[in-house]
Chain A
Amino acid sequence: MSSRPPQPEMLVRRSVDGQRLLEHVADQDAGANILFVGTTRRTTGSERTAGLDYEAYEPMAVAALERLKVEALERFALTSCAIEHRLGWVPAGEASIAVALSAPHRREAFAAVEWLMERIKAEVPIWKCEAGENGARHWVHPGDMRGAAAAGGPS
């Protein structure tokens, strides 16, 4: 185990700092370092988006992100992992999330990024409100969360 300091806060109300996350996960025993940055898309279909307003059930979201991070470290034998999600207003084109991780080899690292993003999008209590350039706003609530107790419950 390294003596890396604990990751600073996972939920932030400022620009996502991917470079800092990448530095945080750097390790001499890691041969693969990945930084994934998710940005708010300007165009969805024919809609033009001015930006996204993110909200979280913060204590539960932090606990869920922490749990997923620990699970990813074990499942993919990662060296290190750090996650940062922005809350509040995120203008189109700016980052809403960054996942940085390091692993001995790239295969596990790429798989872990995909796995983490899927789980974050499915389980972590964070929501976005789309604000169109035409002034329309609507909360995005895809699918059904009724199965969350089985999927995301204590294991």
Chain B
Amino acid sequence: MPVPPSSTLTVALFAGMAELAGARSVAVAWSGGSVADLRRVLGVAHPKLIPLLQRSAVAVAGQYAADTQQVATGSEVAIIPPVSGG
């Protein structure tokens, strides 16, 4: 079966999420999909992130995004673990 054309999506990580990944960002193969799809892809590629990822928000273009929102290739994406500023 032909492999669909795919590019990578760079996902920014912060705080405990960056610590778990050992990196400030990770790249995942991405040819489009929803925020929920991205959560699955990220979890498969980086299983260590799953417990915190399940309690995290996803930001697309600097806005908190619902799981149903579509994520285009080239989007600015970040995982936002529970915040603790103030």
Determine if A57 and B84 form an interchain contact, defined as CB atoms under 8 angstroms apart: no
CB within 8 Å of B: which of A96-125? Answer: 96-97, 117, 120-125
Determine if B86 and A59 form an interchain contact, defined as CB atoms under 8 angstroms apart: no
B69 to chain A, nearest CB (A): 8
Bound-state Cα–Cα, A53 to B30, Å:
33
Chain A count of residues within 8 A CB distance of the other chain: 39
Assuming the A-B contacts A150-B66, A153-B64, are A121 and B59 also in contact, with contact meaning beta carbons closer than 8 angstroms in the complex?
A: no
Assuming the A-B contacts A125-B59, A127-B15, A154-B63, are A143 and B85 also in contact, with contact meaning beta carbons closer than 8 angstroms in the complex?
A: no
What interface size band does chain B fall in?
Answer: 20 to 34
Closest A residue to B56 by beta carbon equals: A145
A68 to chain B, nearest CB (A): 12
Bound-state Cα–Cα, A38 to B84, Å:
13
A contact patch SS: mixed
Determine if B66 and A128 form an interchain contact, defined as CB atoms under 8 angstroms apart: no
Q: Which of A117, A124, A127, A150 contacts B81 (CB 8 A)?
A: A127
Most buried by B among A117, A121, A124, A148: A148
CB within 8 Å of B: which of A52-106? Answer: 54-57, 59-61, 63, 85, 96-97
The 8 A-B pairs at the shortest CB distance, nearest first, are namely A126-B85, A139-B16, A127-B15, A145-B57, A148-B57, A140-B84, A149-B66, A141-B82
- Give the B-binding residues of A (Cβ under 8 A): 38, 54-57, 59-61, 63, 85, 96-97, 117, 120-129, 138-146, 148-154
